Amino acid sequence: METGIKDFARPVEASAIKELLPSRPRVLALGEPTHGEDTLLDLRNTLFRQLVEQENYRTIALETDCLKALIVDAYVTSGEGALDDVMRRGFSHDWGGSQANRELIRWIREFNAARLADDHVRFAGMDGPLEITGAESPRQALTALHAHLAAHVDADLLPCTADRLDELLGADAPWTDPAAMTDPSRSIGRTQRARELRLLADDMVTLLETQAPHLAAASSPADRDRARLYGRTAVGLLRYHSWMADTSPARMARLLATRDEMMAGNLLALAEHGPVLVFAHNSHLQRDKSAMRMWGHPRVEWWSAGALVSTRLGDQYAHLATALGTLRHHGVDTPPADTLEGILHAVPDPQYVIDAARLAAAARDTHAEPRVSPYFGYAPLDPSHLPRIDGVVYVRHVPRD
């Protein structure tokens, strides 16, 4: 078995990825099975640099807040701000502290500094302003969307004034109350003012569309793209807050699905302008349904952003899933031989990529079983997903950073 797999293993390089795919996809997604490991991020950095330089990808999107990411994009395209501050304010999930993320942003800025604006690499967040513990206030998205419209359309077309919007939003603290994630009664997502804000957000997004010819003449493409981002985010956040207030058994499934729908919307919008590289957890990028258990809830299933984007783009979406062998500082030791990771681990190379169809054949021959992880933060690769994955990147060992 080692010989069969090894014959098809290739170094994790842009040329090997190109061989796996019939053509350059519009969205090329690299998934990770666990968060926070710089070994995986360093590998991402090396591969993404090659794909930018050799395959002309010009957008890199990470699993981080799409609004905070605007700070990073301003830095990499124009040098706005200081790197330390950009890393602190431009990332969610505390990922601005990652050395590998810092190196990626530094490299993008250096790459762009020597090029004209239309050849710049742009940075984007695919996630909404969300954490696993809750969600942000819709204030930033709603007020920025209102300001864009107020600057370009007649005041009598606006569904409300800026003062009325501020009054309805109120203080941010009730929106961001972390207790609301586990206690629906603490959420304000279904109060009368939240319902009114949802209607106003819908009206403003509709105004963006109905005034599109005028806005195309009165504002720049970048400003319009940003306004649409604010609109998607406002609508998605208000929907998310509404489901936080839900008490039905479907609550968690709705929250997870809403988050991934926001991710999918962001990726599709980015893909309208050219090929996109995206890096996020496999559960957000796979074509199969995602599933998880949390906070004592039974197994929850939802369609990931990758599944939604793939449905829209077809073979213009590609997913490379990263699998790993050992993560000993989290209790993940050598994978059992009868698992998918066990098959991959038989090849001694520290890192390699392999065609998923070749690996699926080996998994069938050996009746590979899903690996069971002793660490909740690591999700092994499901052998049943291989027919809907384009390639597997294997990392033999992830040391403690």
Tell me the pLDDT tens digit for each residue of 1-45: 444 788 899 999 999 999 999 999 999 999 999 999 999 999 999
pLDDT recorded at residue 184: 97
Provide mean pLDDT across the span 319-323: 98
pLDDT class for 295, splitting at 50, 70, 90? low
Which residue from 60, 128, 73, 130 is spatially nearest to 264, judged by alpha carbons?
128
Pairing outcome for strands 59-65 and 122-127: parallel
Q: What is the mean pLDDT of residues 349-370?
A: 94
Give yes or no for a contact between 10 and 320, defined as CB atoms under 8 angstroms apart: no
Residue 400, pLDDT > 90, answer no
State the residue for tokens 């929106």: 175
Is residue 99 within 8 A of residue 106, CB to CB? The reply is no
Reduced to 3 DSSP states, what percent helix, strand and coil does the chain have, rounded to the nearest 5?
55, 15, 30
pLDDT digits (tens, 9 = 90+) for 195-233: 999 999 999 999 999 999 999 999 999 999 999 999 999
Q: Going by C-beta distance under 8 Å and a sequence separation of 6 or more, which residues neighbour residue 165?
A: 142, 143, 146, 197, 200
% of the chain residues with pLDDT over 70: 98
List pLDDT tens digits, range 117-146: 999 999 999 999 998 788 999 999 999 999
Element (H, E) at 354: strand 351-355
Between the CA of residue 252 and those of 183, 243, 394, what are the distances in Å? 12, 8, 31
- pLDDT of 132 reads 78
Q: What is the mean pLDDT of residues 74-96?
A: 96
Q: Predicted confidence band at 401 (pLDDT cuts at 50, 70, 90)? A: confident
Nearest C-alpha neighbor of 270 from the set 204, 232, 225, 235: 225
Q: What is the DSSP letter of 221?
A: H
- Any bridge partners for residue 152, and if so which? none
In this structure, of 18-27, 71-80, 162-171, 293-302, the range with the lowest mean pLDDT score is 293-302
**What Cα–Cα distance (Å) separates residue 319 from each residue in 157, 212, 263?**
43, 34, 15
